[in-house]
């Protein structure tokens, strides 16, 4: 029995989905969406806020401000509401409507950047607006998820030890790369563990995190338009880049099995499945982290008109027939990502 008095006191750490029946490859999916924020970002949000409280950065009069594509904004909205802080989330037009409405329902102010059609410019515009808020009002406190070590420390303290406890024979861990907080926290933990674990980052094509060519990205969550300051490439064994079309196909394929996951999860699972297909060891123990659930994506990647307008008729293509090999990162800068010649 769990009895809590604040929403961020609960995180489900022991729920995994065995994806072998769905994907035909040995993969366990750690589900991080079953908390009051609905995503893995609740851990980072709580760690950053509590660290700022301990060092005196946050006071009762402070106004939290943060740039977020969605999930961290919801997590901070939950924590700000429970602790009595005002919170301003700066997001952009790719943020799902359901996510914006959730933040507002929790009492947060949401500012949406709409000035840039090129998605690679949205982050810079969001950060510029955050800085302007902090300059205009000394009460504003920017937690800066992109540079804050508490972001990765949350997963070093919680996510990675939970996986290690559940899978003592773990061979490979797949982690999505956004700010790289989850990735770095888990990588640091397992690099110090008693047995070698291969850390495979999963990123979106169009992201520059692992040297890819910048491009359009319409699914919020993973990927960066600038190199993430938290990233230490020496801790990553390999990176796999995934087309957004593949993320959508994977989400729909899992939904047909009754598992409704979000876009970031679709990307991670797609990349993990591709990697495991190229490494068909029968006895491998593999875990992937599912950052989110799918309810917030009902008006985007689960909405037929939205998908067709941006990607064409991709949902009807079976996941099993999708792929030549995806580009991978082996420690050297990635060249231009290969596109799917069948599309």
Q: Residues 28-85: pLDDT tens digits?
A: 999 999 999 999 999 999 999 999 999 999 999 999 999 998 899 999 999 999 999 9
pLDDT tens digits for range 295-307? 999 999 999 999 9
Instruction: Report the alpha-carbon distance of residue 94 to residue 323 in Å, rounded.
Output: 27
Cβ atoms < 10 Å from Cβ of 341: 6
7-34+149-329 CATH, one of 3.10.20.340, 3.40.50.720, 3.30.450.20, 3.40.50.1100: 3.40.50.1100
Q: How confident is the model at residue 328 (pLDDT cuts 50, 70, 90)?
A: low
pLDDT tens digits for range 223-252? 888 899 999 999 999 999 999 999 999 999
Sign of torsion, CA 160 162 165 171?
Answer: negative
Instruction: Report the alpha-carbon distance of residue 336 to residue 323 in Å, rounded.
Output: 17
Task: Tell me the domain boundaries of the chain.
Answer: 7-34+149-329, 41-142
Say whether 41-142 and 7-34+149-329 share the same fold. Answer: yes
Contacts of 59 (CB under 8 A, 6+ apart): none
- Domain spanning 41-142 has what CATH number? 3.40.50.1100
Angle at 68 between CA 157 and CA 91, to 5 degrees: 170
Cβ atoms < 10 Å from Cβ of 312: 10
Q: What is the CA radius of gyration of the chain?
A: 19
DSSP annotation string for 260-280: -B-HHHHHHHHHHHHHHHHS-
Contacts of 205 (CB under 8 A, 6+ apart): 212, 215, 241, 242, 243, 244, 337, 339
Q: What is the average per-residue pLDDT within 274-292? A: 92
pLDDT of 120 higher than 90:
no
């Amino acid at each position: 029995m769990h009895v809590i008095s604040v929403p961020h006191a609960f995180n489900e750490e022991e729920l995994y989905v065995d994806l072998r029946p769905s994907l035909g490859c040995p993969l366990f999916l750690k589900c991080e969406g079953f908390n009051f924020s609905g995503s893995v970002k609740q851990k980072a949000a709580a760690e950053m806020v509590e660290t700022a409280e301990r060092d005196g950065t946050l006071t009762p009069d402070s106004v939290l401000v943060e740039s977020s594509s969605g999930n961290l904004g919801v997590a901070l909205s939950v924590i700000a509401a429970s602790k009595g802080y005002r919170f301003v989330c700066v997001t952009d037009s790719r943020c799902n409507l359901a996510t914006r409405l959730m933040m507002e329902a929790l009492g947060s102010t949401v500012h949406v950047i709409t000035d840039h059609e090129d998605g690679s410019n949205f982050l810079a515009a969001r950060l510029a607006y955050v800085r302007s808020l902090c300059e205009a009002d000394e009460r504003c406190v920017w937690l800066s998820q992109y540079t804050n070590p508490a972001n990765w420390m949350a997963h070093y303290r919680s996510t990675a030890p939970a996986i290690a406890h559940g899978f003592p024979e773990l061979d490979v861990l797949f982690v999505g790369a956004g700010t790289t907080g989850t990735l770095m926290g888990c990588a640091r933990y397992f690099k110090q563990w008693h047995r070698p674990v291969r850390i495979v980052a999963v990123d979106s094509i169009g992201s520059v995190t692992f040297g890819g060519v910048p491009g359009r990205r319409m699914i919020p969550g993973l990927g960066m338009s600038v190199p993430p300051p938290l990233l230490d490439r020496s801790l990553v064994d390999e990176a796999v880049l995934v087309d957004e079309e593949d993320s959508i196909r994977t989400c729909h394929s899992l939904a047909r099995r009754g598992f409704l996951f979000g876009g970031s999860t679709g990307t991670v699972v797609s990349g993990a499945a591709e990697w495991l297909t190229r490494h068909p060891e029968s006895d491998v123990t593999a875990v992937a982290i599912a950052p989110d659930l799918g309810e917030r994506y009902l008006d985007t990647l689960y909405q037929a008109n939205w998908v067709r307008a941006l990607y064409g008729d991709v949902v009807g293509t079976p996941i099993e027939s999708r792929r030549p090999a995806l580009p991978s990162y082996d420690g050297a800068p990635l060249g231009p990502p290969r596109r799917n010649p069948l599309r």
